[in-house]
């Protein structure tokens, strides 16, 4: 699509590329993306697909996958151009690459807005992961040790476990966490597929499907975007690579891999469990050891992913407060306050489902589908103008920085690229607006418990919880058991 000439500072042999000798390779970068992306949203995809209907749901899932891949590539291309044009972005560490894209393409105010949005997006993402980790931990403790601990205390336990890891400097320093995160989510999907195959002969004989409605369809949009919405972290990972230009390979591999995982779970859950599947597919699995191993793998995934997700907002705030790069009291205090703010939000909102939909439909749509096309079209047009000036005047040694106008973008961008980006923007703006409204409605209508601290100071907060670890049985009446066991005391919601 006419991209090869606009990488920046080109010569007759092709584009030059910045190299960071201490950076990570493109395979490790792909693992980072998989580790951050495939997890919290993955287990909710069956519910989203069932809520929307098979064909519309698959179309929407594949559109989100394709558009997310394209906008991720646009972020790669944008950052590569910026590194080649401005030497200050080639240093060992840039704390806010996404914000710098906004500055170079739109201006200072947009950079400040992006810093705020990255903090909101990633803090919301981290909150969902904390809630999911606490929920899975409660199920595991009940199953293996017959311990029923209140969700509120488990949120604090997760916080204490993850807190020290948030002190690590940047993604290149905790690649082991990404490896654990990607490995655990992949193993979880394999086990879910095995569980689906085991349950299919019985459950597929009676698979209920409710009529899709518009409200659920818009909420499904938020779930799908959340499942692919790691874009705020991508420039940070790319900057920490040895060869940032190779990040394109990382993105393609990671998103295709995640899409395959998502299709396995979403389609399998639709045909085996139908509308009996809840916000998470895990309780529907009827082999207890598989169910609990998947719970364990997801718990490992989300706990390690929290560290990756917290990196962008932490680095944004540290850059704002001019915190030194080396570890010290300032870094400790800033990261402690930010992380425990996430825990406080988790203690305030106990259900991850509505929060997941809202974050996916609002801030993640903005960061994933709307801003990357704007950044890329702008920086690409800047580059075309500079190359044209350089051809006319050989004395133009350095690219000047003048933000382009909308007319210049229309005039200098090939029509296929314009059409594709217009489609992405329309998809993101319309879908994001409608799904944000419906997610707010759902959040307001959901029957949520009072915040943990409110319970503690008003009526006391018992240490024990009420988790029973039951199975969400399949069938129209939610009482079919694959083992032939009586549904009474086994199924969570039998309806006779």
Whether the per-residue pLDDT at 399 is higher than 70: the answer is no
Q: What is the pLDDT of residue 7?
A: 39
Q: Nearest to residue 303, comparing CAs of 251, 339, 347, 345?
A: 339
Cβ distance 185 to 295 under 8 Å?
A: no
Q: Residue 184: what pLDDT?
A: 83
pLDDT confidence of residue 337: 92
Q: Say if residues 196 and 189 touch (Cβ distance below 8 Å).
A: no
Categorize the per-residue pLDDT at 14 as very low, low, confident or very high, splitting at 50, 70 and 90.
very low
**What's the rounded mean pLDDT across residues 414-436?**
92
d(CA 236, CA 442): 33
Is residue 118 within 8 Å of 367, Cβ to Cβ? Answer: yes
Q: Is 415 helix (H, G, I), strand (E, B) or coil?
A: helix
| 264, pLDDT greater than 70 | yes
Tokens coding 315? 């680095």
Sign of the C-alpha dihedral, residues 395, 377, 317, 155? negative
pLDDT in tens, 144-184: 887 888 888 889 999 998 888 888 766 556 566 667 777 88
What pLDDT does 194 receive?
A: 92
- Residue 241 in 3-state DSSP? strand
Taking only the tens place, the pLDDT of each residue in 315-354 is: 778 877 888 877 788 888 989 999 999 999 888 876 666 6
Lookup: tokens for 132: 């999911």
> What are 127's two structure tokens?
């909150």
Q: Which residues contact 248 (CB under 8 A, 6 or more apart)?
A: 73, 76, 77
Quick check: helix, strand or coil at residue 53?
coil
3-state secondary structure 109-130: HHHHHHHHHHHHHHHHHHHHHH
- Choose between 390 and 258: higher pLDDT: 258
Name the residue with tokens 């991720």. 72
The helix-helix angle for 97-105 and 108-145 (nearest 10°) equals 150
What's the CATH class of domain 22-446? mainly alpha
271-306: pLDDT as tens digits: 999 988 887 888 889 888 888 888 888 888 777 778
At residue 5, the pLDDT reads 38
Question: What value does the mean pLDDT take over residues 400-407?
Answer: 76
Q: Which helix (H) or strand (E) holds 10?
A: strand 10-11
Residue 40 DSSP code? T
DSSP state of 91: S
pLDDT for residue 15: 42
């Amino acid at each position: 699509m006419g991209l090869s000439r606009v990488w920046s500072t080109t010569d007759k042999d092709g584009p030059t590329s910045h190299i960071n000798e201490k950076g990570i390779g493109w395979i490790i970068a792909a693992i980072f993306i998989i580790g951050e992306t495939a997890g919290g949203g993955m287990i909710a995809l069956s519910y989203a697909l069932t809520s929307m209907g098979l064909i519309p749901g698959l179309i929407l899932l594949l559109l989100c996958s394709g558009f997310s891949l394209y906008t991720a590539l646009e972020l790669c291309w944008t950052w590569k151009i910026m590194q080649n044009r401005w030497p200050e972005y080639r240093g060992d560490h840039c704390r806010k690459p996404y914000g710098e894209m906004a500055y170079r393409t739109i201006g200072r105010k947009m950079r400040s807005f992006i810093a705020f949005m990255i903090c909101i997006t990633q803090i919301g993402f981290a909150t969902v992961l904390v809630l999911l980790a606490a929920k899975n931990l409660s199920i595991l403790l009940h199953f293996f040790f017959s311990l029923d601990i209140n969700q509120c205390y488990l949120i604090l336990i997760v916080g204490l476990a993850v807190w020290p890891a948030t002190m690590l400097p940047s993604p290149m320093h905790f690649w082991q966490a990404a490896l654990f995160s990607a490995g655990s989510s992949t193993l979880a999907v394999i086990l879910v597929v095995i569980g689906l195959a085991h349950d299919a002969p019985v459950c597929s004989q009676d698979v209920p499907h409710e009529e899709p409605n518009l409200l659920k369809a818009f909420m499904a949009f938020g779930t799908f975007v959340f499942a692919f919405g790691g874009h705020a972290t991508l420039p940070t990972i790319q900057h920490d690579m040895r060869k940032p230009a190779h990040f394109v390979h990382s993105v393609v591999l990671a998103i295709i891999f995640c899409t395959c995982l998502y299709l396995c779970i979403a389609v399998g859950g639709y045909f085996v469990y139908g509308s009996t599947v809840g916000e998470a597919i895990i309780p529907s699995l009827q082999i207890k050891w598989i169910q609990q191993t998947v719970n364990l793998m997801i718990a490992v995934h989300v706990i390690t992913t929290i560290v990756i997700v917290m990196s962008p907002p932490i680095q944004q705030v540290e850059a704002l407060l001019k915190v030194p790069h080396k570890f010290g009291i300032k870094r400790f205090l800033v990261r402690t306050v930010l992380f425990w703010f996430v825990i406080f939000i988790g203690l305030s909102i106990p259900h991850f489902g509505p929060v997941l939909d809202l974050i996916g439909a609002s801030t993640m749509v903005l960061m994933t589908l709307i801003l990357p096309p704007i950044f890329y079209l702008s920086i690409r047009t800047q580059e075309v103008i500079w190359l044209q000036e350089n051809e006319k005047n050989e004395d133009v040694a350095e690219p000047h920085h003048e933000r382009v106008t909308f007319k210049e973008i229309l005039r200098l961008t090939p029509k296929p690229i314009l059409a594709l980006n217009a489609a992405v923007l329309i998809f993101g703006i319309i879908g994001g607006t409608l799904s944000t409204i419906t997610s707010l409605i759902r959040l307001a209508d959901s029957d949520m418990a009072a915040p943990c601290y409110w319970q503690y100071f008003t009526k006391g907060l018992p240490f024990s919880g009420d988790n029973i670890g039951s199975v969400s049985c399949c069938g129209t009446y939610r009482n079919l058991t694959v083992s032939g066991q009586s549904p009474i005391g086994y199924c969570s919601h039998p309806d006779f």
